[in-house]
Structure 1
Amino acid sequence: MSRLSGKVALITGGSRGIGAGIVKRLAREKANVAFTFLKEKEAANSVVKEASTNGNRVIAIQADSGSARELMDAIEKVAKEFGRIDILVSSAGAFLFKPVDEVSDEEFDHMVAVDLKAAFIASRSALKHMRDGGRIVFVSSNIADFAALATTSIYSMVKAGLDGLAKGMARDLGPRGITVNTVHPGPIKTDGNPEDSPYAKDLRSFMVTPQFGEPADVAAMVAFLVSPEAKFATGAAFVIDHGFTA
């Protein structure tokens, strides 16, 4: 029996990139998986099809993580569909690379809403349906530890905020046996972070060998953190960046 067999997992932002990798990995571990997506229906359907191969259920729900109402409604749909939520992975995120003196109020608010507030909203809503011993993971970034490039101030801020949220929640939820952790990916090959981006050469220079990681590399760490084996790991940040921050 797989270590996640029968568990119910919700991943926000699961139609592409790291989120899609997490959906596929948890489904491979035989969890029943629900994930949200913003607007890429074709991509979401493709992930559902690929992940639904182990006799488990995989569903996609369209919801904007920047909208508290849409996110809360999506979580209620998952709870109604599966009866509970055992695992929450907050993976939805937005990117903003711009000098701080050029960032508008609207851009700042959007980054906070999607990258930070959404993790809080999703956690608060999911906890209503989470039994003792549940698991919560936030997908942060190694930029929270090391702002290696200019223009990353706001992105670094919101990702660092996830670490603070996770540490506090770990204290709050420890008596229930619910663990809360963050993962800090480095450069990972995704549509939003291609290997041929203008930043790619600089990013490679920080790693022990000049290669980007795969979404599966992050998903493997998440799969461990949401498993029974990780019961003693909480309030921590797990870095997967090929030595970027070493």
Structure 2
Amino acid sequence: METQTSLVGKTALVFGGSRGIGAAAARRLAREGADVALTYVSAPQRAAETVVAIEASGRAGLAIQADSADPAAIKAAVAKTMERFGKLDIAVVNAGILMLGDIATVSVEDLDRMLDINVRGVFLSIQAAASRLGEGGRIITIGSNTAVRSGHPGSSVYAMTKAAVAVMVKGAAVDLASRGITVNNIQPGPTITDMTADHIEAIKPLIPLKRAADPDEIAGLVAWLSRKEAGYMTGSSLTMDGGMAL
């Protein structure tokens, strides 16, 4: 039975759900009652482990290999989710890459790769998911607090892509409002994931709370935005970074 807080009977697709924040979101959505499909690129074992965790919660899971730089793969992931579960209620767009480089030396190849995945890939994932979402559907993107606070050398391109996502969400929210679909963006600060492993300790002193986030903390906000009780919030970027962007 649907309530304000339950996700029982819902189906979610997490783009980039094999590890880190994406895997935590997939597990949390399953614990709250949703069946969950997830995409991965190069970590099939991690994706399989996440599916096992989903199924341990009593829900159905599905891992789909799909590169978010490939438009056809994004569409195929949505189609495979529909084929398996018959519907789509929640789309979490977590796929993204971090490639640091001074603006004077960053290569065109690195620039294009980040734009392809972090901007174009997010847009195409929203577009593909929205075509299948029903009334009251949810789209949640995972951005970064660098969209509002870029204070680290070498982060200019990454910050630019995350700022683009924050603006993109505003427009998508307006476009999809007539269908009752909400679109929101979470902007985590430093979070303990594979992507941040090399520099997380150096950043901790800059965080007012003096610690990095656990992916499960970000997943909790994903779950709330997925619920019926969050239905009046759309077009928002919610920064969750231990006070860094204050």
- TM class by shorter chain equals over 0.9
Hey, what's the Cα distance between the residues in 1 that align with 2:229 and 2:95? 25
CA RMSD across the alignment: 1.2
CA contact (8 A) 1:206 1:243 kept: no
Hey, what's the Cα distance between the residues in 2 that align with 1:125 and 1:71? 7
- After TM superposition, give the deviation of residue 148 of structure 1 in Å: 1.6
Hey, what's the Cα distance between the residues in 1 that align with 2:187 and 2:48? 27
Residue number in structure 1 paired with 2:201: 200
Q: Secondary structure at the match of 1:133?
A: strand
1:35 to 27, 38, 41: 38
Residue number in structure 2 paired with 1:211: 211
CA contact (8 A) 2:15 2:22 kept: yes
1:11 partner letter: V
Q: Secondary structure at the match of 2:187?
A: strand
Task: Write out the 4+ residue segments of structure 1 that deviate beyond 3 Å after TM superposition.
Answer: none
Hey, what's the Cα distance between the residues in 2 that align with 1:44 and 1:198? 24
In the TM superposition, what whole-angstrom CA distance separates every residue of 1:144-194 from its partner, at most 9, and x where no partner exists? 110021110000000011011100011111111110010000010011112
Say if 2:93 is the partner of 1:87: no
Say if 2:157 is the partner of 1:154: yes
Counterparts of 1:104-123 in structure 2 under 5 Å?
A: 104-123=107-126
- Long gaps (5+) in structure 2: none
Residue number in structure 2 paired with 1:135: 138
In the TM superposition, what whole-angstrom CA distance separates every residue of 1:71-105 from its partner, at most 9, and x where no partner exists? 11111111111112111100011111100121111
- After TM superposition, give the deviation of residue 199 of structure 1 in Å: 5.5
Aligned length: 243
Worse overlay, 116-125 or 140-149: 116-125
Residue number in structure 2 paired with 1:18: 21
Residue number in structure 1 paired with 2:245: 245
In the TM superposition, what whole-angstrom CA distance separates every residue of 1:15-73 from its partner, at most 9, and x where no partner exists? 00110000000010110100000021111111111121232111100111111111111
CA contact (8 A) 1:90 1:119 kept: yes
Q: Secondary structure at the match of 1:92?
A: coil
CA contact (8 A) 1:5 1:30 kept: yes
Residue number in structure 1 paired with 2:60: 57
Say if 2:227 is the partner of 1:223: no
1:214 partner letter: D
- After TM superposition, give the deviation of residue 198 of structure 1 in Å: 3.9
- After TM superposition, give the deviation of residue 119 of structure 1 in Å: 1.3
Distance 1:199 1:6, change over 3 A: closer
Hey, what's the Cα distance between the residues in 2 that align with 1:105 and 1:92? 21
CA contact (8 A) 2:173 2:182 kept: yes
- TM-score normalized by the length of structure 2: 0.96
2:58 partner letter: G
- After TM superposition, give the deviation of residue 124 of structure 1 in Å: 1.2
Q: Secondary structure at the match of 2:244?
A: coil
Residue number in structure 1 paired with 2:232: 232
- TM-score normalized by the length of structure 1: 0.96
CA contact (8 A) 1:37 1:62 kept: yes
CA contact (8 A) 1:8 1:84 kept: yes
Residue number in structure 2 paired with 1:181: 184
- Long gaps (5+) in structure 1: none
CA contact (8 A) 1:96 1:111 kept: yes
Say if 2:184 is the partner of 1:190: no
Hey, what's the Cα distance between the residues in 1 that align with 2:114 and 2:31? 32
CA contact (8 A) 1:10 1:85 kept: yes
